[in-house]
Amino acid sequence: MSLLKIESLSLAIHGLKILDDVSMEVAPGRILGVIGESGSGKSITAFSVLQLLPGGAECTGRITLCGKDMLSLKEAELCAMRGREVGMVFQEPMTALNPLKTIGDQVAETILIHERVSKAEAMMRAAEALRRAELPVEKFPLSRYPHELSGGQRQRVVIAMAIALKPKLLIADEPTTALDVTTQAQILNLLRRLVEEDEMGLMLISHDLAVVADLADDLVIMKTGEVVEYGPAKKLFRNFQHPYSKALLAASGHVPAREAQARDVPLLQVREVVRDYTGHSHGWWGKTTLTRAVDKVSFEIRRGESLGLVGESGCGKSTLTRAILGLEDVQSGEILFDGLPVFTHHHANVAVRRRMQVVFQDPYGSFNPRWKVDRLITEPFHLMDKPPTGAARAAAIAEALESVGLTAGDADKYIHEFSGGQRQRIAIARALIIKPDLIILDEAVSALDVSVRAQVLDLLANLSDRFGLTYLFISHDLSVVRSITDRVLVMKSGRIVEEGPTADVFDNPQHSYTQQLVAAAPVLPADVVTAH
Amino acid sequence: MMGAFLHSRTLLPGAVLTLVFTFAALISLVWVPYDITVLDIANRMKSPNWTHPFGTDQFGRDILSMIMEGARTSIAVALVAVGIGMIIGVPLGLAAAARKGGLLDEVIMRANDLVFAFPSLLIAVMITAVFGASALNAIIAIGIFNIPVFARLTRGAALSLWNREYILAARVAGKGPARISLEHILPNVANLLIVQGTIQFSLGILAEAGLSYVGLGAQPPIASWGRMLADSQTMISLAPHLALFPGLAILLTVLGLNLLGDGLRDILDPRLRRART
């Protein structure tokens, strides 16, 4: 007896077809993994179960939940089901909670909406729900506000809200995408435990095959609004039929071919660097507080090498990046690029700066929306004494765009005309245009879909071979770091805790934190990877 | 853009009203039905009729002509006052945002607070009391109070932009704060400034009318809506049209500008635009 049954669901918004003949089923106590890249329709499928659809949406087909036909229910009846029969967990725990209400109130709200109970009783049940989500009242009183909790703890609050009424179905839309690796593992374990305890059905939506791999009982793979593959996870992983699923699997474990060899000449030397931030705790004249973001960090990057820097949010990666780029001074220690300091006399050293460039994470936020591509990618020319003009400038633009797989004609377009992957190529073109020696890739592929990510990684490997580039690859994603770096640094609370050749560090981690990280990282089962 | 313009419920009426008064002001530069410096006592306090569509005042001057010339005064005062506010306020806001948390930021923003702390019309009254009542002093008084409005708005919008990665990219390209403010920040806050500009413009018209009403704005023989209202006050029971037409002119201009500002915000704000499509 299935709990949720979606049968040949098609959906169009203002006549534009979004979903086409989608069918899937969730049984009590089982986990259905829904996998697809952005735009595949996986989230809209989940929202159509609850009939939380944008205006102008038209559904055809059949959605049966607990024996009720969801498409024929009235809004009031749907409201009665949302939160009671179906709970939902969203991607972004920072915005899924109301910052002005305590966590107790927010969890109790779900109960008060659906049941006629007193406020006190609702709070008691909220405490119970939070305890089940592993936030015991003794340590996390109900009077806490969301901003007093970490990202993982907030996600637990969201989960507590979703399970407060013991729903029969839980929909989790990318519940761990915004979280760190170790937190992600904990949240996934929590979800699994809740499913077992409550005999609940779970629809787990993700873009990451590895996240779903060891959790899901059944698997749906979606592409542009269609289901391309559906079946029991174990069987499916061993024997994908559709070329898209195969490509997706290949892309998630993709290792780009690299030829460049690191030479034994140091390019960037970081020695005993310390960066403190001072804050004023009480107004202008209050006590100053000192936060040490980077604590005596030393390492070096050799010419032609690809060095990975791994760490969770708040470990000091970004601060270190800024210091290397000469955007901020450091309190003590030195950073030398090819023997020259990166920061001299309150200013970044221009001679050094023009040999380093950076690619950022967010393909949407790293470009001025009002500029055309030619102006965007030639911005680093500002570092040169005599920037090329006229034909030489056009040639440089064309070369940079073509080396990242775009065409010279793209120079005349605005940034919003490009997809996420193309934008990241443009970001790389912007970094390449002044022919730097070192490119810092700050989570440069983290926001991309797996197949696009594989292409960008290939491009990066290819560029380093062609131009002899050196990379500092900063990421929280261990599998990406593993595929593209020679050596890796592991950073925690401002310190480098482990350092060594990438394969050694990941296969045989020494420091307890590295062991934790490696254990928490979601991986595809080994036999699956070899089978393909 | 054009489609949004025609479909917006606020933009079109706002633009039409604003254009009508702008045209009236422009035409008055070259032609008005009657010369308002000439008194025609024989025809005083005439109700609206075919020769004087809006009637005449207590000196026999044509009210339509006075409304047209008054539009010129109002628009000129408000426009220059908004100009002063933008030209001084926007660079201050950009500088404060570029030096966030620094001494410059504190000095600029506390000075803004100081100006904000005084009731604006009261200070305007003081300025005109000290330096004499004239349209120029009214402009300066209204202009000064526009400075903190634009400085705050610019700083607030610029602060969120400074956290964007493209600003970081520009810094990596070696650009200084002044250049980044000019090239990256200013174009991205421009739409906000345009919207705020129309709203300040309408407030400027109200302020000018208020100052003229108490006799501290433009002096005779320059026509002014505010003074027309003041002059008609004692005769309102005899000839209500004397107060009606300048009052309507003020109401409709301010309404038009506010609608225009509202509509412009809807089409210039990319978030709202996306939400609608």
**pLDDT at residue B153 tops 90:** yes
pLDDT of residue A1: 63
Chain-chain contact of B169 with A366 (C-beta, under 8 angstroms): yes
Q: Which of A223, A304, A276, A257 is nearest to A42 (CA)?
A: A223
Query: B2-31+53-276: what fold?
Result: MetI-like fold (1.10.3720)
The residues, ordered by sequence, that sit 6+ positions from A219 with a Cβ below 8 Å of its Cβ are A32, A33, A35, A212, A229, A230, A231, A232, A233, A236, A237
B166 touches chain A (CB under 8 A): yes
146-165 in B: which are within 8 Å (CB) of A? 164-165
Q: How far apart are CA B104 and CA B122, in angstroms?
A: 29
Residue B218 gets which letter from DSSP? Answer: S
Q: Find where tokens 């109900």 sit.
A: A142
Q: Which of A78, A75, A76 is nearest to A66 (CA)?
A: A78
Cα of A443 to nearest chain B Cα, Å: 12
Residue A429 gets which letter from DSSP? Answer: H
Q: How far apart are CA A274 and CA A494, in angstroms?
A: 9
Q: Which of A508, A415, A421 is nearest to A458 (CA)?
A: A421
Give contacts of B172 with chain A, Cβ < 8 Å. 325, 327, 353, 356-358, 380
Q: Find where tokens 């174990």 sit.
A: A234
A-B C-beta contacts closer than 8 Å: 53
Residue A426 gets which letter from DSSP? Answer: H
pLDDT confidence of B19, banded at 50, 70, 90? very high
Average pLDDT of B26-51?
Answer: 81
CATH superfamily of the A266-355+436-531 domain: P-loop containing nucleotide triphosphate hydrolases (3.40.50.300)
Helix (H) or strand (E) holding A17: strand A16-26
Tokens read off for B273: 């635009």
Per-residue pLDDT of A63-100, as tens digits, reads: 998 888 888 888 888 888 888 888 888 887 778 888 88
Mutate which of B164, B172, B184 to disrupt the A interface (most A C-beta within 10 Å)? Answer: B172
The residue type at A405: G
Chain-chain contact of A358 with B171 (C-beta, under 8 angstroms): no
pLDDT confidence of B275, banded at 50, 70, 90? very low
Question: How many CB atoms within 10 Å of residue A304?
Answer: 20
pLDDT confidence of B276, banded at 50, 70, 90? very low
Query: Using CB atoms, which residue from A354, A362, A370 is nearest to B188?
Result: A370
Give contacts of A357 with chain B, Cβ < 8 Å. 172
Tokens read off for A52: 């939380």
pLDDT of residue A32: 93
Q: Which of B200, B213, B199 is nearest to B246 (CA)?
A: B213
3-state SS track over A438-483 = EEEEECCCCCCCHHHHHHHHHHHHHHHHHHCCEEEEEECCHHHHHH
Chain-chain contact of B172 with A357 (C-beta, under 8 angstroms): yes
Do A273 and A323 form a contact (C-beta atoms < 8 A)? yes
Q: Which residues pair with B19 in a beta bridge?
A: none
Chain-chain contact of A368 with B174 (C-beta, under 8 angstroms): no
Average pLDDT of B35-44?
Answer: 78
- Cα dihedral across residues A224, A226, A228, A231: positive or negative: positive
Q: Find where tokens 């000018």 sit.
A: B208
Chain-chain contact of A366 with B172 (C-beta, under 8 angstroms): no
Mean per-residue pLDDT over chain B, rounded: 85
Cα of B181 to nearest chain A Cα, Å: 12
**pLDDT at residue B78 tops 50:** yes
Q: How far apart are CA B231 and CA B135, in angstroms?
A: 18
Q: How far apart are CA A424 and CA A426, in angstroms?
A: 5
Chain-chain contact of B165 with A365 (C-beta, under 8 angstroms): yes
Domain A4-252 matching CATH 3.40.50.300: the answer reads yes
**Strand A356-359 relative to strand A226-232, pairing:** unpaired
Torsion angles phi and psi, residue A301, rounded to 5? -115, 130
pLDDT of residue B156: 93
171-190 in B: which are within 8 Å (CB) of A? 171-175, 183-184, 187-188
Question: How many CB atoms within 10 Å of residue A52?
Answer: 13
Per-residue pLDDT of A247-264, as tens digits, reads: 888 888 788 887 767 778
What are A's interface residues with B at a Cβ cutoff of 8 A? Answer: 325, 327, 348, 350, 353-354, 356-358, 360-362, 365-370, 379-383, 427, 430
The residues, ordered by sequence, that sit 6+ positions from A118 with a Cβ below 8 Å of its Cβ are none
Q: Which of A323, A296, A320 is nearest to A310 (CA)?
A: A320
B273 touches chain A (CB under 8 A): no
Measure Cα distances from A166 to A39, A316, A464, A470, B76 in Å: 31, 40, 53, 53, 67
Q: Tell me which range, A158-172, A327-341, B5-19, B213-227, is most confidently predicted by mean pLDDT.
A: A158-172
Average pLDDT of B83-111?
Answer: 93
Tokens read off for B226: 């505010």
The residues, ordered by sequence, that sit 6+ positions from A288 with a Cβ below 8 Å of its Cβ are A278, A279, A280, A281
Q: Find where tokens 């923003």 sit.
A: B109
More confident residue, B1 or A36: A36
pLDDT of residue A286: 63
pLDDT confidence of B151, banded at 50, 70, 90? very high
Per-residue pLDDT of B246-259, as tens digits, reads: 999 999 999 999 99
Nearest residue in A to B165, CA atom = A366
Do A350 and A434 form a contact (C-beta atoms < 8 A)? no
Our CA angle for A333, A336, A341, nearest 5°, is 85
Q: How far apart are CA B71 and CA B248, in angstroms?
A: 12
**ipTM of this model?**
0.74
Q: Where in chain A is the domain with CATH 3.40.50.300?
A: 4-252, 266-355+436-531
Q: Find where tokens 């749907």 sit.
A: A78
Mutate which of B164, B166, B182, B184 to disrupt the A interface (most A C-beta within 10 Å)? Answer: B166
**pLDDT at residue B15 tops 60:** yes
Do A377 and A399 form a contact (C-beta atoms < 8 A)? no
Chain-chain contact of A365 with B164 (C-beta, under 8 angstroms): yes
**pLDDT at residue B95 tops 90:** yes
* pLDDT tens per residue across all 532 residues of chain A: 688 999 899 988 888 888 888 999 999 989 999 988 887 888 889 888 888 888 778 888 889 988 888 888 888 888 888 888 888 888 877 788 888 889 999 999 888 888 888 999 999 999 999 999 888 888 888 888 888 888 888 999 999 999 998 899 999 988 888 788 888 888 999 999 999 988 899 999 988 888 888 888 999 999 888 899 898 888 888 888 888 888 888 888 788 887 767 778 888 999 888 888 876 655 556 667 777 888 889 999 998 889 999 988 778 888 888 888 888 888 888 888 888 888 877 777 888 888 889 998 887 788 888 888 999 999 999 888 888 888 999 999 999 998 888 888 888 888 888 888 888 899 999 998 988 999 999 888 887 888 888 888 998 988 888 888 899 999 888 888 888 899 999 998 888 999 999 989 988 999 999 998 888 888 776 666 554 4
